[in-house]
Chain A
Amino acid sequence: MFAPFMANAWLAGTLVAMVSGAVGLFVVLRHRAFAAHAIPNGAFAGAAGATLVGASSLLGLVVFAVASALGVAALGRRRNDVVTALALVTMLALGAALLAASGAYEPTIDALLFGELLGVARGEVVALALLVVGAGVALALLFRPLLYSSLSEEVAAARGVAVRALDATFLVLVAVSAALAVPVVGALLTFALTVGPPAAARMLTRGPARALALAVVLSLACVWAAIASAFWSGWPIGFFVGAYAAAEYVAARAATSWGESRARP
């Protein structure tokens, strides 16, 4: 399990889990789950396009994910959910058409949608790490205004926070974390990692700093367990990520309702 060829998987998985946990907490707080689901699918179309023209897939992932995030931010102020839904199916259909045009084999498609344990090449880990550092710095700088505007957009706007610009920046952060996660976890499962562990963390703790720490811890646990299970069983890693993320959420819900029923004799 800790063989040299697995080193990339562990390293990339750890980086992905840290970013997804931290960004995911704000996805949950800001109720942007649908957008967080749509953006990885933009990344899917980007990877498909990169396959077609023979470019670096990480470049395709980042460019398309950021473009769909800006699209959702620009068009989706009113009628939010309809715009997001349409952006999502557009990107998926584009990805399907690009893959059909490039004549890609089915394993390539499966890996993009459902993840691939060894989906990150050695050379890409450095680029991944740079993106993670960038996302971490951005999140640290934006932590207070993001939290503030998540709790009450009106108050934040009145205090002079540029709410729209902040929202667009946040969606770009979601896009970067999605572009990192898609090659490992898959376009359809990236979202499970962004929502499941942070939602569980928010339920179990009070206070934003603790919730952030717990979200990262739960997300790491989810990804590490998924890598180990995928290695031993040979099944796709995406299945384990989806299953463990859902299990964490269900367990957190059960624990809170048990605690509430004990507190109320």
Chain B
Amino acid sequence: MRWLVEPGFFTNPVVGTALVLGAVVAVVSAAVGVVVVVRGQSFAGHALTDVAMAGGAGASLLGASPLLGFLLAGVVGGGSIEAAGAERVRDRDVATGVVLGAAAGLTALFLYFVSSSTSATGSTQSVLFGSVFTVSPSVVPLGVAVAAATLVALLVVRRPLLLSSLSPELAAARGVRPRAMGLVFVLVLAASVALSALVIGAILSTALLVGPASAALRVSRGLVGATLGAIAAGVAAVELGILASYDSFYWSAAHRSVPVSACVVAVVLVEVATSAAWARWGRGRG
């Protein structure tokens, strides 16, 4: 074991918190991500991460809990993306882009205030790229509660949501209201983005949302199988990423560890590449 896991990995309480929170977050992101990929809403999902980033920066300015900042900003930003792009579907990407740009500007301002009003450093790093090793254990109960609520909401709206994205006419005939569906889904998306922003940082949470889901959708048939596969891939990515980041402290003589988020993204990429190769090989044989 010594060559694989550096000493102290299993006994360190900080690592324990990171592993638990990471697993919870990965489950929610993967489950929501499958719907995001099927609906083709990766850009909206990514825009919400940038809006959440502004919330995280604002929370760090006020000294509030980052999870609350991520959540609040995500809900407000998601609502305004829905409102701005609802009438003209064709111009939806532009409306999303403008909201995203304004949010990135706000982030710049908040982080500037943080660095000029306090002597604290590292807030840019922790808001943007995450630092799951610095998350305090007191956040875990709130995080788990938000995760559970998000999963329940997703289970409730999943069927009408998928129906309205695959066939809007059929959904309308069944009495599904597309705008209400869109709004509920954006709120679910905002909650899931807020959770993953805590672990791998606001601008990288897109990786956990889209990566495992697109890998699983390539390999498996059926949405239930894809969702389960995405959850497994997401949890594996987060846990392996945490392990690699912890170990990397011992790799170089300078003891500069690789950030957790970079390790998680690397594992996600390996998963996506493997699934693409697997799908191509299967097609070649069949």
Q: A28-B94, A86-B210, A93-B262 are in contact. Are A195 and B111 (CB under 8 A)?
A: no
Q: Are A192 and B105 in contact (CB under 8 A)?
A: yes
Instruction: Tell me whether A159 is interfacial, beta carbon within 8 Å.
Output: no
B136-157 vs A, Cβ < 8 Å mask (1 yes, 0 no): 0000000000000000000000
Instruction: Tell me whether A224 is interfacial, beta carbon within 8 Å.
Output: no
Q: Which B residues are in CB contact (< 8 Å) with A188?
A: 50, 104, 107-108, 203
Q: Are A106 and B101 in contact (CB under 8 A)?
A: no
B227-268 vs A, Cβ < 8 Å mask (1 yes, 0 no): 000000000000000000000000000001111011001101
User: Chain B contact residues: over half helix, strand or loop, or mixed?
Assistant: helix
Instruction: Tell me whether A178 is interfacial, beta carbon within 8 Å.
Output: no
Alpha-carbon separation in the docked complex, A34 to B93 (Å): 7
Q: Are B101 and A242 in contact (CB under 8 A)?
A: yes
Q: Are B124 and A34 in contact (CB under 8 A)?
A: no
Q: Are A97 and B258 in contact (CB under 8 A)?
A: yes
Q: Are B98 and A106 in contact (CB under 8 A)?
A: no
Report the nearest B residue to A28, measured CB to CB: B94
Task: Kindly state the interface size class of chain B when it binds its partner.
Answer: 35 or more
Instruction: Tell me whether A26 is interfacial, beta carbon within 8 Å.
Output: no
Kindly name the residue among B105, B125, B259 whose own CB sees the greatest number of chain A CB atoms within 10 A: B105
Q: Are A192 and B101 in contact (CB under 8 A)?
A: yes
Q: Are B129 and A239 in contact (CB under 8 A)?
A: no
Kindly name the residue among B96, B99, B210 whose own CB sees the greatest number of chain A CB atoms within 10 A: B210
Q: Are B101 and A34 in contact (CB under 8 A)?
A: no
Q: Are B105 and A195 in contact (CB under 8 A)?
A: no
Segment touching A, from B5-13, B40-48, B163-171, B172-180: B40-48
Q: Total contacts A to B, CB within 8 angstroms?
A: 173
Q: Which B residues are in CB contact (< 8 Å) with A37?
A: 43, 46, 97, 100
Segment touching B, from A57-65, A109-117, A147-155: A109-117
Instruction: Tell me whether A238 is interfacial, beta carbon within 8 Å.
Output: yes
Alpha-carbon separation in the docked complex, A103 to B121 (Å): 14
Further pairs besides A33-B96, A245-B102: 17, Cβ < 8 Å = A81-B41, A86-B210, A97-B259, A100-B256, A100-B258, A106-B125, A110-B111, A110-B112, A115-B108, A188-B107, A188-B108, A191-B97, A192-B98, A196-B97, A199-B97, A238-B105, A239-B112
Which residues of chain A have a CB within 8 Å of any CB of chain B? 28, 31, 33-34, 36-37, 79, 81-82, 84-86, 88-90, 92-94, 96-97, 100-101, 103, 106, 109-110, 113-115, 186, 188-189, 191-193, 195-196, 199, 235-236, 238-243, 245-246, 249-250
